Amino acid sequence: MASIVADIKDSLFLKACRREPTARPPIWLMRQAGRYMASYRQLRERYELLELVKNPELACEVTLQPIEQFGFDAAIIFADILPLLSCIGIDVQFAKGSGPILSRNLSSEQEVLDIKPRPVEECLAFTIKAVDITARALKSHGVPLIGFSGAPFTLASYAIDGTGHDHAVKTKAMMHASPKAFDHLMRVLCDLIGDYLLAQVKAGAHALQIFDSWAGVLSWQDYGKFVLPHQKALIKRVKENTSVPVIYFGTQTSGLLDLLSTLECDVIGVDWRIPIQAAWKQLGASKAIQGNLDPALLSGPWTGIEASSRLIFEQVKSLNAEMKGFVFNLGHGILPSAKEDNVKKLVEWVKATP
């Protein structure tokens, strides 16, 4: 169990995000509440995914499960990035065995220009309420709560290409064939995401993470031209209106790190495809870093987890002897095949390793 602190702002996680000295690196894992946990699977036998997401009390219960079982240093609200698309008229359902299904996709310039967004307080009231309930519940644990949203490009790629795409072909086509429409969509999404993130802070979130799951499909040129200005504007707005740390995370973004270093976020999350030492050198000392254990290792033997985790620690220490500004995490979300005992051992190992 995480140590209770008198003031959440003094927690290891928030201090690391602010690049302040900590006795050890904090640990939390993306998707730490989910299908690898027996307690979560028991709930899923009674409720569909969206039932859990849209019920604030149940979302709170799921968020707390890994805190109570493993003692992570931060919690992340149990939610999903796709319901935000309902604000632009795209609903989502989760079918068993087939993942998310969107009610429609944006296939023309006119469809994009005709978007009439609805307020996030209306569309996503359930998650905002869940943040409020969960932040209050976490006080007795002394653990901060992370709110989150999908990034504008990732949500745009779902809105245009749908789910399950590998290369965002239709999204890239709109970028180049209808840049006015793509720019409009990104601006609309940035406004909604900004509103949503700030609403979560108002409800009690202590930090924010922006998930750009599909950023890695873009070339350096396209990310810099079509996405980076919007991402900068979004983070700038959030930072101007709240003091909580902001984390930006994308997968397969090793070739974009020089661009990501220009974002005004506090922390950059990196995946396992690049040595964390190399990533931090590119990002610069002004950024905290989060990562970057391969999530697949949690499904295998402990020896592989320990060896890879130790290498991460050694690489971080080679740049920063005090490991200041380092948050231990995976390079993406926990897989359903992860072993609970491995997760427990990993948390204990990080807490015990000097």
**Residues with catalytic roles:** 31, 35, 44, 80, 158
* DSSP sequence for 85-96: GGGGT--EEEET
Two tokens, residue 280: 């931090």
What is the spatial distance between Cα 354 and Cα 347, in angstroms, rounded to a whole number?
Answer: 13
Picking from 324, 326, 344, the residue whose alpha carbon sits closest to that of residue 334 is: 344
Q: Are 29 and 74 in contact (CB under 8 A)?
A: no
Chain centroid to Cα 42, Å, comes to: 25
User: Which residues, including other chains, have CB under 8 Å from residue 149's CB and lie 6 or more apart?
Assistant: 81, 84, 193, 196, 197, 208, 210, 211
Residue 210 DSSP symbol: E
Residue pair 135/204 in contact (Cβ under 8 Å)? The answer is yes
